[in-house]
Amino acid sequence: MITWGQLQKSQIDPEKIEEAIARLIAEHNADPEAHLVEGGSLKSHKMAEIIDHLVNSIVADKIRAGEVTREKILNYHSWKLPFESIDGYSMYLPGNAHIEPQIQALVFYNSEVLNDVARLWVGEVYNIIPAIIKNPCIQFSMRIKEPTFTDVYVVWGSNDPIGQPYVNYFGFKTKHDQPQKVFGCYRISPTQAIEVEIPNVLPYEPHFYRAEVLNQGAILRFYVDNNLKAEVSPQWDLWDTDYLFSISLKTFINDSVPHYFWNFTIEQDT
Query: Model confidence at 262, in pLDDT bands (50, 70, 90)?
Result: very high
Task: With respect to residue 263, please indicate whether it lies within any of the assigned structural domains.
Answer: yes
Q: Are residues 155 and 261 in the same domain?
A: yes
CA atoms within 13 A on the CB side of 65: 13
Domain co-membership, 160 together with 230:
yes
> Looking at the structure, do residues 180 and 235 belong to the same domain, yes or no?
yes
The answer, yes or no, to whether residue 151 has pLDDT greater than 70, is yes
235 in a structural domain:
yes
- For residue 254, give the CATH number of its domain: 2.60.120.200
The residues near 146 (Cβ < 8 Å, ≥ 6 apart) are 204, 253, 255, 257
CA distances from 186 to 70, 118, 200, 207 (A): 23, 20, 20, 20
Domain contains 55: no
Q: In what order do the strands lie in the sheet with 117-123?
A: 90-92, 117-123, 243-251, 150-156, 169-175, 178-189, 192-198
Position 53 in a domain: no
DSSP E strand boundaries for 84-226: 90-92, 98-101, 106-109, 117-123, 137-144, 150-156, 169-175, 178-189, 192-198, 207-214, 219-224
140 plus 37 within the same structural domain: no
Q: Is residue 52 part of a domain?
A: no
User: Is position 173 within any domain?
Assistant: yes
DSSP state of 149: T
**What would the pLDDT profile of 161-175 be if each residue is shown by its tens digit?**
998 878 899 999 999
Could you give the CA distance from residue 116 to residue 139 in angstroms, rounded to a whole number? 26
Q: Quick one: 187 and 241 in the same domain?
A: yes
Three-class secondary structure of residue 125 per DSSP: strand
Count of positions (residues) in the chain: 270
Among 33-47, 146-160, 231-245, name the one with the lowest average pLDDT.
33-47
Q: pLDDT by residue (tens digit) across 23-75?
A: 878 877 777 777 666 666 666 555 555 555 555 555 555 544 444 444 444 46
Does this model's pTM top 0.85? Answer: no
What pLDDT is attached to residue 2?
Answer: 66
pLDDT tens for each residue of 214-225: 999 999 999 999
Domain co-membership, 154 together with 214: yes
133 lies in the same domain as 262: yes
pLDDT surpasses 70 at 257: yes
Over the chain, what is the mean pLDDT? 85
Is the Cβ–Cβ distance between 222 and 139 less than 8 Å? Answer: no
Of residues 191 and 182, more confidence is placed in: 182
The answer to whether residue 66 sits within a structural domain is: yes
Total domains in the chain come to 2
Same domain (yes/no): 94, 188:
yes
- Is residue 26 domain-shared with residue 126, that is, in the same domain? no
Residue 83 lies in a domain: yes
DSSP conformation class of 128: B
Phi, psi of 46 (to 5 degrees): -65, -40
**Which segments of 37-104 are extended strands (E)?**
76-81, 90-92, 98-101
Of residues 221, 265, 268, the one with CA closest to residue 240: 268
Residues 216 and 250 in one domain: yes
Q: How many CB atoms lie within 10 A of CB 76?
A: 16
Decide which of 209 and 86 is more confident: 209
Task: Check whether residue 76 and residue 190 sit in a common domain.
Answer: yes
Same domain, 107 and 183: yes
Q: Which domain holds residue 93?
A: 60-269
